[in-house]
Amino acid sequence: MSGTLNKAVVLLSGGMDSATCLYWARAQGWQVYALSIGYGQRHAVELQAARRLAQALPVVDHLRLELDLRAMGGSALTDDIPVPTAAPATSSIPVTYVPARNTILLSLALGWAETLGAHDLVIGVNAVDYSGYPDCRPAFIEAFQTLANVATKAGVEGHAFRIHAPLLHCSKSEIVTMGLALGVDFALTSSCYDPDAAGQACGLCDACRLRLAGFRAAGHPDPIRYRAPT
Amino acid sequence: MSGTLNKAVVLLSGGMDSATCLYWARAQGWQVYALSIGYGQRHAVELQAARRLAQALPVVDHLRLELDLRAMGGSALTDDIPVPTAAPATSSIPVTYVPARNTILLSLALGWAETLGAHDLVIGVNAVDYSGYPDCRPAFIEAFQTLANVATKAGVEGHAFRIHAPLLHCSKSEIVTMGLALGVDFALTSSCYDPDAAGQACGLCDACRLRLAGFRAAGHPDPIRYRAPT
């Protein structure tokens, strides 16, 4: 009975991880609502990818909120700090870290979920190939779920929120394999931190390196176009 | 030595509670940064009050971020649902509740704090005359502090965040008394959910009722103007 289907809010950046989450949520039998945030990121091409993915599924609704985090400063993804092209150092937090980004994104998803009567939130973080961001770890997901259930009317009234991070323990190659099995068209996705005006990926930033290594390890060609030789 | 002063981010709506928090933060000896969010609220007059208060202290910096929560719907403060003028029911969560509002506000404060190198966040919630909002309770503040320390670079690196809610256990009359002792000019503040174009308070909504009762109990006149007899 469609009237009894759970609703889920999926954070959809337009990258390969959130695209996989979108299809994963559908595979759970949920009514899927996609939320994208225009937060002043350099890679606005991602938001176009988000729209294409939301149409392809299709979702019940796709909400795009604008929140200009550039006013805060602090990251190469929103500032004029150059995006690094060297291989990432594994022991430190990179300059592409956006302060409190996933906390902000999940809090917005929580607000929309309350309005919709949804109790399932889905975010595509993962703790394996995660670039060293603190808000991509299991402890972060657990702490946010605890918060959601004391912060909200629904939580207080006994409708527990669940924060799903289905990619948390997946490598990039496992995400490629999982996404293909779920029917994701990775040609619609965009991962690059520094795409050109035509949306072509650089092939050199952390996000491109992780993505390319993932496809290579999964034994599948990456269907998007790169401007640098890969 | 001014170079060693702690920085604090204070959420400043322009109401009497956040104004008291602003002066409380200064009294701790901190460098005060004020954050106001334009979230599509009806009572934009509050944001003008926030600017006046930030100038009066004065703060080191006052950041105003725009985030239009009207796209989400769900509250009389951002929607076309009429603001109730009857006395509040004490046992239920009112229609003026904005979904996940304080979670969203604190997450934005956390992002700015990380950029600034601040580890103290101040929010003017209180659990006494709190209108029944779930995100105004001690359990919410504790859960957010736990989250902040796993979600951020600073938290991971051992600089613990502290979420201060100095009004948490104060009645409205105690807030009036505390604010006056700290030097707050309450004439600069705005609390009404439904002010007129000139910024005059209605005197009838929940926020006006709580404010007026607080001043009455504290034995001080409320210096702002009301359009209805109080």
Helices and strands, number each (H, E), in chain B: 7, 5
Q: Is residue B228 part of a domain?
A: no
Q: Is residue B14 part of a domain?
A: yes
Give residue for tokens 């399932």: A120
B7, B131, B153: which to substitute to probe chain A, counting the most A Cβ within 10 Å?
Answer: B153
Q: Is residue B230 part of a domain?
A: no
A153, A157, A161, A163: which to substitute to probe chain B, counting the most B Cβ within 10 Å?
Answer: A153
Q: Please give the model's pTM, rounded to 2 decimal places.
A: 0.89
Q: What is the mean pLDDT of residues A96-103?
A: 80
pLDDT at B63: 94
Average pLDDT of chain B is 86
A196 pLDDT above the threshold of 50: yes
Nearest by CB to residue B115, choosing from A72, A110, A147, is A72
User: Where is average pLDDT lowest: A14-28, A90-104, A154-168, B213-227?
Assistant: A90-104
C-alpha dist (Å) from residue A134 to A101, A103, B152, B155: 10, 11, 6, 9
A35, A72, A140: which to substitute to probe chain B, counting the most B Cβ within 10 Å?
Answer: A72
Q: What is the mean pLDDT of residues A116-131?
A: 86
**What single-letter amino acid sits at B19?**
A
A78 pLDDT above the threshold of 50: yes
Tokens of A176: 């490629």
Instruction: Please indicate whether residue B82 or residue A228 has the higher confidence score (pLDDT).
Output: A228
User: Can you give the length of chain B in residues?
Assistant: 230
Q: Is residue A228 part of a domain?
A: no
Q: Is residue A81 part of a domain?
A: yes
CA distance A22 to A34: 8
pLDDT at A133: 81
Q: Does A107 touch chain B (CB under 8 A)?
A: yes
Which residues on chain A are in Cβ contact (under 8 Å) with B104? 104, 107-108, 110-111
Classify B153 as helix, strand or coil: helix
Contact flag A155-B134 (C-beta cutoff 8 Å): yes
Q: What is the mean pLDDT of residues B80-94?
A: 52
Percentages (nearest 5) of helix, strand, coil residues in chain B: 40, 10, 45
Model confidence at A134, pLDDT cuts 50, 70, 90, reads confident
A93 pLDDT above the threshold of 60: no
Q: State the angle between helix axes of A172-182 and A16-27 in degrees (0 to 180), rounded to the nearest 10.
A: 50
Domain of residue B85 covers 2-218
Q: Within its chain, how far is the Cα of A182 from the centroid? A: 16
CATH number of the domain residue A124 falls in: 3.40.50.620
Average pLDDT of chain A is 86
Answer whether B103's CB lies under 8 Å from A107's CB.
yes
B227 pLDDT above the threshold of 60: yes
Question: What is the number of domains present in chain B?
Answer: 1
Q: Which helix (H) or strand (E) holds A101?
A: helix A101-116
Nearest by CB to residue A115, choosing from B73, B135, B152, is B73
Model confidence at A90, pLDDT cuts 50, 70, 90, reads very low
